[in-house]
C-alpha cells in the first residue's frame, strides 16, 4: 500500500487529523522523518488534537454565547473590584468538575456578561458542553415547551450541558412555572454540573425577587450551597466607548 492510498483510507475513515499529520511527515526530508513508533505516536496525537478542536468548535457554536469573549481580554482595573486570581482559579474549569456555581453581579454595563461569556468560552475550549440563555429567552422557551408538552424533554436535554449560563437574571418578574422549572433544573444539576448566574440584582435581594418563600429557600439553597460570588463595581464600560 503506497502513501497516498494510506492517506485516502484515513480520510475515508474520517481520521482527518491523522491523515494530515501523516501527509506532513511524508513531505519531510527522509533523514528528518520520525521512526515508525514515533510516527505512529505523532499521528495518533494529531488525530486526538484534531478531534478536540472539532468538539470545542461545535460546543462554542451550540452554546450561543452572547459575546465572543476570552478570559485573556478581561480587564482588572482596581475600580472593577475584580480579582485576577479569582478568574485564574476558574480558568481551568475545575469548578465544573466540583459542580460549583458562580454568581456575577453588578450594575448595568460593568462587564458581567462579558466575563460570564469568557468563562463559557473557556469551558467549551476545555471540552465542556455549555449553554447560554438570556433570562427572557429562557422564560420564553419554558412557556413554549409547557404549551406543546415537551417541557420534560427540554429539561432532560439541559442535563447534557456541564455548564449553563443564565444572563440578565432578575430584570423582569418570573412566573410560578418558571420558578418551578428553575428549581427542577437546579435539582437535576446539584452535585453533578454547574451554573453561572449573571444579574444586576444584588444577591441579597434574590429572596424577595422570588416572592414565594418556600420556592426561594429551595432555589437559593441549591444555587449558593457551593458558589463563588463576583461582585463587580465601577462605572459602565459602555460610557468609555
Provide the residue ranges of all domains of the chain, joining segments of one domain with +.
3-62, 64-236
Beta pairing, strands 194-199 & 163-169: parallel
Give the pLDDT of residue 74.
Answer: 92
| Confidence at 29, pLDDT banded by 50, 70, 90 | confident
Task: Give per-residue pLDDT as tens, 169-199.
Answer: 999 999 999 999 999 999 999 999 999 999 9
39 vs 166, residue with greater confidence: 166
Give the C-alpha separation, 128 to 138, whole Å.
20
Q: Any idea which residue has 474520517 for its cell?
A: 14
Confidence of residue 240 (pLDDT cuts 50, 70, 90): low
pLDDT digits (tens, 9 = 90+) for 68-123: 899 999 988 888 889 899 999 999 999 999 999 999 999 888 889 999 999 999 99
pLDDT, tens digit, 9 for 90 and up, residues 63-79: 999 998 999 999 888 88
The DSSP result for 119-163, as a single string, is HHHHHHHTT--EEEEEHHHHHHHHHHHHHTT-HHHHHHHHTT-SE
pLDDT average, residue stretch 34-42: 76
pLDDT above 70 (res 142): yes
Q: What is the CATH number of domain 64-236?
A: 3.40.50.300
Residue 236, pLDDT above cutoff 70: no
As beta bridge partners, residue 231 has 105
Q: Edge to edge, what strands does the sheet with 227-231 contain?
A: 130-134, 163-169, 194-199, 101-105, 227-231
More reliable by pLDDT, 226 or 3? 226
The whole-number pLDDT of residue 4 equals 78
Return the higher-pLDDT residue of 174 and 54: 174
Nearest C-alpha neighbor of 166 from the set 140, 197, 141, 188: 197
Instruction: Determine the pLDDT at residue 108.
Output: 87
Phi, psi of 168 (to 5 degrees): 60, 35
What's the rounded mean pLDDT across residues 157-174? Answer: 94
Amino acid at each position: 500500500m503506497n502513501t497516498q492510498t494510506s492517506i485516502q483510507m484515513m480520510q475515508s475513515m474520517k481520521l482527518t487529523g491523522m491523515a494530515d499529520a501523516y501527509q506532513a511527515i511524508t513531505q519531510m526530508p527522509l533523514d528528518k522523518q520520525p521512526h515508525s513508533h514515533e510516527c505512529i505516536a505523532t499521528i495518533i496525537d494529531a488525530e486526538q488534537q484534531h478531534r478536540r478542536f472539532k468538539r470545542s468548535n461545535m460546543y462554542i457554536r451550540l452554546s450561543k454565547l452572547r459575546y465572543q469573549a476570552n478570559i485573556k481580554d478581561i480587564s482588572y482595573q482596581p475600580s472593577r473590584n475584580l480579582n485576577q486570581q479569582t478568574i485564574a482559579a476558574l480558568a481551568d474549569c475545575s469548578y465544573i468538575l466540583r459542580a460549583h456555581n458562580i454568581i456575577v453581579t453588578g450594575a448595568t454595563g460593568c462587564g458581567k456578561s462579558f466575563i460570564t461569556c469568557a468563562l463559557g468560552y473557556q469551558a467549551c475550549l476545555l471540552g465542556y458542553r455549555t449553554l447560554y440563555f438570556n433570562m427572557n429567552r429562557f422564560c420564553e422557551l419554558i412557556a413554549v415547551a409547557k404549551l406543546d408538552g415537551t417541557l420534560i424533554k427540554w429539561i432532560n436535554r439541559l442535563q447534557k450541558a456541564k455548564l449553563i449560563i443564565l444572563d440578565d437574571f432578575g430584570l423582569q418578574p418570573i412566573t410560578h412555572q418558571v420558578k418551578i422549572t428553575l428549581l427542577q433544573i437546579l435539582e437535576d444539576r446539584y452535585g453533578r454540573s454547574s451554573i453561572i448566574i449573571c444579574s444586576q440584582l444584588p444577591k441579597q435581594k434574590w429572596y424577595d425577587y422570588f416572592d414565594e418563600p418556600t420556592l426561594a429557600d429551595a432555589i437559593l439553597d441549591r444555587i449558593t450551597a457551593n458558589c463563588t460570588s463576583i461582585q463587580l463595581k465601577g462605572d459602565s464600560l459602555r460610557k468609555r466607548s
